[in-house]
Amino acid sequence: MPEQYTTVFGSLGQYEKGGVEVINDNPKHYAFSNMFEVASGAKPYEKVAVAKNLEYVLEVIRAEGTSEWRATPHDEFALVVDGSLEIELLDPTQPLVDQDASGSVGIDGEPAGSPMGRVQAGRGHMTLLPAGKAYRFHSDGVAVVLLQTIEGPDTVFRWADICQTV
């Protein structure tokens, strides 16, 4: 039989979840969740932590409609794991966030600055959100983003809701 493979990525509409089969342990020690399940139960642009290592986090974001502008003091990276997403980047006239801060902050209204450009990203595309700049997301449908960042003021933790407990 010739080799033929189907690569399974999963999506909001169709995903299967694995799990922890305990032999001598507590499943909570593995903080097992699923990005699509978390996005299914999230509000638009809520930043739900699915992984945490000291100050660093990975957040799942349900991108639906247009987000607020956010300013980040350090590089962040947005990986689209479902749907399509437009990312607008802006170079602010005045610093919008303390450069020693952690995580991005929301900005009221339209910040003053120069447009840097935009990225139209689909599934599997990873985009740099550069330090000291601002960004805004838009999705006509629903997209799911995994954000590599540092815990910030808007990071939401709800481990007991999203993780396997028994």
Partner 1 sequence: MTMTETAPNASGYKDFSVGGFTFSRDEYFVTVTWPTGSHQMDIVQWLRCVQRDVAWEFFYGIINFDEVIGTMNHYGNVDMFAGRFNEAYRRAEVDYNENFDHDELLGCFKAMLSDWTNEGYDPFAAPMETGSAYGTSQGDNDKAVTRKRVVAERMVSVPGDEPIRSDESGFPINRAFADVHQDEPVITAEPGYEDQVCSFSLYAYLSRSDVTWNPSVVSACKESLYCPTTEEFILPVIHGNDRVEWFVQLSDEIQWDVEDRDTGAKRARVVMKAGDVAAMPADIRHQGYAPKRSMLLVWENGSPRIPEMIANGEAPVRPVDF
**Interface with partner 1, residue 159, by CB under 8 A:** yes
**Interface with partner 1, residue 89, by CB under 8 A:** yes
| 43 residue type, one letter | K
Euclidean distance between CA atoms 48 and 40, whole angstroms: 11
CB atoms within 10 A of CB 103: 22
Q: What is the DSSP code (8-state) at residue 142?
A: E
Cβ-based nearer residue to partner 1, 33 or 67 = 33
CA 51, 48, 41: angle at the middle one, nearest 5? Answer: 120
**Interface with partner 1, residue 112, by CB under 8 A:** no
**Nearest distance from C-beta of residue 92 to partner 1, angstroms:** 13
b/e string for 48-72 if b means 16 or more Cβ within 10 A? bbbeeeeeebbbbbbbbeebebbbb
Residues 1, 138 contacting (CB under 8 angstroms): no
Q: Which stretch binds partner 1 (CB under 8 A): 16-24, 61-69, 92-100, 105-113?
A: 16-24
Cβ-based nearer residue to partner 1, 108 or 117 = 117
Binding to partner 1 in span 30-69, by CB under 8 A: 30-37, 50-54, 56, 58
**Nearest distance from C-beta of residue 58 to partner 1, angstroms:** 6
Which parts of this chain interact with partner 1 (CB under 8 A)?
A: 3, 5-10, 15-25, 27-37, 50-54, 56, 58, 74-77, 79, 81, 87, 89, 91, 114-128, 130, 133, 146, 148-150, 157, 159-160, 163
